[in-house]
Amino acid sequence: MPSMLVTGASRGLGFEMVRQFGDDGWRIHACCRNPAGADALNALATASDGAITVHTLDVGEPAQIDALAAALRGTPIDMLVNNAGLLGHAIDEQAAGAFGTLDYENWMQVHAINTMAPLRVAEAFVDHVAASEMKLMFFMSTHMGSITDLAEGNFYPYRSSKAALNLLVKAISIDLTPRGVRTLAVHPGWVSTDMGSAAAPVTPPESIAGIRRVVAAYGDDQTGRFFQYDGKELPW
Ligand SMILES: NC(=O)c1ccc[n+]([C@@H]2O[C@H](COP(=O)([O-])OP(=O)(O)OC[C@H]3O[C@@H](n4cnc5c(N)ncnc54)[C@H](OP(=O)(O)O)[C@@H]3O)[C@@H](O)[C@H]2O)c1
């Protein structure tokens, strides 16, 4: 049974990943900031016969990352899923992170969670991933972080945090090739989660069903690439 660790599993795409990969029989370490308030996730874990374990993890707290990595020392993790993320403001907010309106404190927080935290998690769990069969580090990115595809401004904090994440996904793929560890960045589509809003055209079940196909098709020789949930490869 393959295993995965997912950050931000309390709701949205992280929760749906736990639900669908759990249905597929994966052993899952589902991480969230506040397990006591994660009723739906706890219900999945209870029904999973021990296959899903819920852990406390705020990815903005380095000590919590290190503590969980130590608690799971010696446990192989086939797919490390860096999913937790912040937009920084409501998606339909008028001046959504636009030039001339920027809140730099907020920007630092978005970078801490979207860019630096995934790298901390990758560093802390590299031995767990290297000890597994699949050896895959998965990063939830967005086409909004693609420089090549950029057609409009605004959302500066979010776009820049994910563009930087994309660079890290590529850089980590180079550094970890000698250990056989691979990376994959995925754009989940514009999805109707709290972040994506009800206006989004893709549902979480549709997005994660597509992501499961992308993961299944990602060969052992592939690393450092960027795909959309429907299988289309995206430019950095
Ligand atoms: N929805 C979209 O259209 C879309 C498009 C492209 C990319 N994405 C990416 O997909 C990922 C998931 O987004 P979503 O749509 O599922 O968003 P969401 O519904 O807003 O959920 C965000 C998740 O991240 C968690 N989180 C936030 N800060 C955290 C922290 N410091 N430590 C641990 N967990 C934290 C939240 O936990 P709490 O419940 O504790 O707040 C929640 O579980 C993000 O990386 C996002 O950038 C989403």
Q: What is the structure's pLDDT at 214? A: 98
Confidence grade of residue 90 (pLDDT, cut at 50, 70, 90): confident
**Do 195 and 87 contact (CB within 8 A), yes or no?**
yes
Residue nearest to atom 17 of ligand 1 (CA): 195
Whether 206 shows a pLDDT value over 80: the answer reads yes
CA distance 211 to 213: 5
Q: What is the structure's pLDDT at 95? A: 63
Mutation probe of ligand 1 site: the residue of 5, 6, 11, 211 with most atoms within 8 A of C-beta: 11
CA of 182 to the centre of ligand 1 (A): 23
Whose tokens are 């949205």? That residue is: 12
Q: What is the structure's pLDDT at 97? A: 82
CA of 86 to the centre of ligand 1 (A): 6
CA of 112 to the centre of ligand 1 (A): 13
Residue nearest to atom 43 of ligand 1 (CA): 8
pLDDT, tens digit, 9 for 90 and up, residues 116-168 = 999 999 999 999 999 999 999 999 999 999 999 998 888 999 999 999 999 99
pLDDT, tens digit, 9 for 90 and up, residues 182-203 = 999 999 999 999 999 999 999 9
Q: What is the structure's pLDDT at 96? A: 73
pLDDT, tens digit, 9 for 90 and up, residues 9-55 = 999 999 999 999 999 999 999 999 999 999 999 999 999 999 999 99
Whether 79 shows a pLDDT value over 70: the answer reads yes
Mean pLDDT of 201-226: 97
Whether 94 shows a pLDDT value over 70: the answer reads no
Q: Fold for domain 3-228?
A: Rossmann fold (3.40.50)
Mean pLDDT of 171-183: 98
Residue nearest to atom 25 of ligand 1 (CA): 8
Pocket of ligand 1 (CB under 6 A): 7-8, 10-14, 32-34, 58-60, 83-86, 113, 140, 142, 187-188, 190-191, 193-196, 200
Residue nearest to atom 47 of ligand 1 (CA): 85
Which ligand 1 atom sits nearest the alpha carbon of residue 191? Answer: 3
Domain ranges of the chain: 3-228
| Residue spans of alpha helices (H) in 96-155 | 104-111, 117-130
Which ligand 1 atom sits nearest the alpha carbon of residue 87? Answer: 47
CA of 178 to the centre of ligand 1 (A): 31
- CB-based contacts of 161, cutoff 8 Å, min separation 6: 110, 111, 113, 114, 115, 145
User: For the CA atoms of the chain, what is the radius of gyration?
Assistant: 17
Q: What is the structure's pLDDT at 3? A: 98
Predicted TM-score (pTM) of the model is 0.98
CA of 33 to the centre of ligand 1 (A): 11
**Do 144 and 83 contact (CB within 8 A), yes or no?**
no
Whose tokens are 């589902």? That residue is: 30
CA distance 122 to 118: 6
